[in-house]
Structure 1
Amino acid sequence: MSLILASNSAARKAILTGAGVAFAAQGAEVDEAAEKTRLLAEGAGPADVAQALAGLKALAVSRARPGAWVLGSDQTLEFQGRLFDKAASAEEAGDRLRMLRGHAHQLHSGVALARDGHLDWTGRDSARLHVREVSEDFLTDYLAAEGEALTSCVGGYRLEGLGAQLFERVEGDYFTVLGMPLWPVLAALRERGVIAL
């Protein structure tokens, strides 16, 4: 059976590729900003938003790809009860990291499987990340090394790269931090015959 990842995220592609899952990737046409605004106005929390957006992405692609299983995924960052979007610039990412310095925040990763325009399965997982008291010198060097790549991830860091040095500890699943709770996804794909048992 064919599987389509409703995302062009390099991290999510790498997660599935590393796990040996065959898939094609197609970005989803979803107005995330408008949907987030709607969901928050309806009282959704940051974890709910991640799961809902994953479902909307899966549905958007599945309507155009009959018969295929479509995997949607989304991630939100929660700090002190507030949801944060990806930074619009490297400077904004730096300001966010300064705000997170010495504190814990949560990453919520939502996933959904859809087929023929219907949601078949959803899941989510959260991780708690503790940012160490990084020095301004380290942060300056980090921001210069990462550059505009800081705007491609919601926290302004890539745990699989230099960003690992920002943390004193992480509570939760590594793949959830990268943007997709892999173990539940693999189980759901096996149950549906998309990958071998």
Structure 2
Amino acid sequence: MKFTNARPIILASASPRRKEILSLLGLPFTVQPSHVSEDIEMTTDDFAGYARELASKKTMAIAEDYGDHIVIGADTIVVHEGKHYPKPESKEQAKLFLRELSGKTHAVITGVGIFVGGTLRVFSVETAVTFRELDDILLDAYVESGDPMDKAGGYGIQTAGALLVEKIEGDYFNVMGLPIARLTEHLRRLALINLKEGDPFIDY
């Protein structure tokens, strides 16, 4: 498949994983990290809404200077039993996170913002991830590898963190940080990308 795009695309994220996923569309795009703080106080138990809020802020931080572009921003959070698990600040915190998630099912929620033509649209996708019962040797070795330190929840499903996972229910790429199938659906419906002339867009 080869898509074409109606306007230049900017990915408002420094994440190499999101860059890799967006590249699946085969479209040219530039990366412009937003550098928006992720330390926004969570004043609600609406975790999906929180992820959408962060995605909105990241998207708009770049869109302000690139109004004629398609700007895509995203934020991914990990949640279990009403608790938010951000990127760990230390190896000790990473171990704590992973021990608490061991043998349990948690939610990975990604909020995505799309800005174009003066309008921001935001959506979120949730995937359920179940961890195996983690033994201390595996857990310690994974944390010592350094892999957990830049990832929400303290693990990456696309790296050695896959060894911690029993199963997932939902979008694998959402766990990586960008639900590309849903994003593609939105971009096509907005007539921002297409496969060929006459592609049946549904503008909304």
TM-score normalised by the chain length of structure 1: 0.89
Q: How has the CA–CA distance of structure 1 residues 135 and 29 changed in structure 2, closer, same or farther, with 3 Å as cutoff?
A: closer
Question: What is the letter of the counterpart of residue 139 of structure 2?
Answer: L
Report the equivalent of 1:168.
Answer: 166
CA-CA distance at 1:59 after TM superposition:
1.1
Report the equivalent of 1:17.
Answer: 23
**1:32 is aligned to 2:38:** yes
- Deviating 4+ runs (over 4 angstroms): none
Tell me, in whole angstroms, the C-alpha distance in 2 between the residues paired with 1:187 and 1:127.
18
Report the equivalent of 2:126.
Answer: 126
**1:70 is aligned to 2:71:** yes
Q: How has the CA–CA distance of structure 1 residues 29 and 161 changed in structure 2, closer, same or farther, with 3 Å as cutoff?
A: closer
Once the two structures are superposed, what CA deviation does each residue of 1:88-123 show, in whole Å capped at 9, x if it has no partner? 12221112101111111111011111135531x221
Unpaired segments of 5 or more residues in structure 1? none
Question: What is the letter of the counterpart of residue 123 of structure 1?
Answer: F
Once the two structures are superposed, what CA deviation does each residue of 1:130-155 show, in whole Å capped at 9, x if it has no partner? 111111111122222x31x3111102
Asked if 1 retains the 8 angstrom alpha-carbon contact of 2:85 and 2:97, the reply is no
CA-CA distance at 1:72 after TM superposition:
0.9
* RMSD (Å), alpha carbons: 1.5
Asked if 2 retains the 8 angstrom alpha-carbon contact of 1:6 and 1:27, the reply is yes
Question: What is the letter of the counterpart of residue 156 of structure 1?
Answer: G
Asked if 2 retains the 8 angstrom alpha-carbon contact of 1:46 and 1:77, the reply is no
Once the two structures are superposed, what CA deviation does each residue of 1:157-189 show, in whole Å capped at 9, x if it has no partner? 111121111011111110111111111211222
Report the equivalent of 1:158.
Answer: 156
Tell me, in whole angstroms, the C-alpha distance in 2 between the residues paired with 1:5 and 1:91.
32
Aligned partner of residue 142 in structure 1, secondary structure:
helix
Unpaired segments of 5 or more residues in structure 2? 1-6, 196-204
Structure with the larger helix share: 1
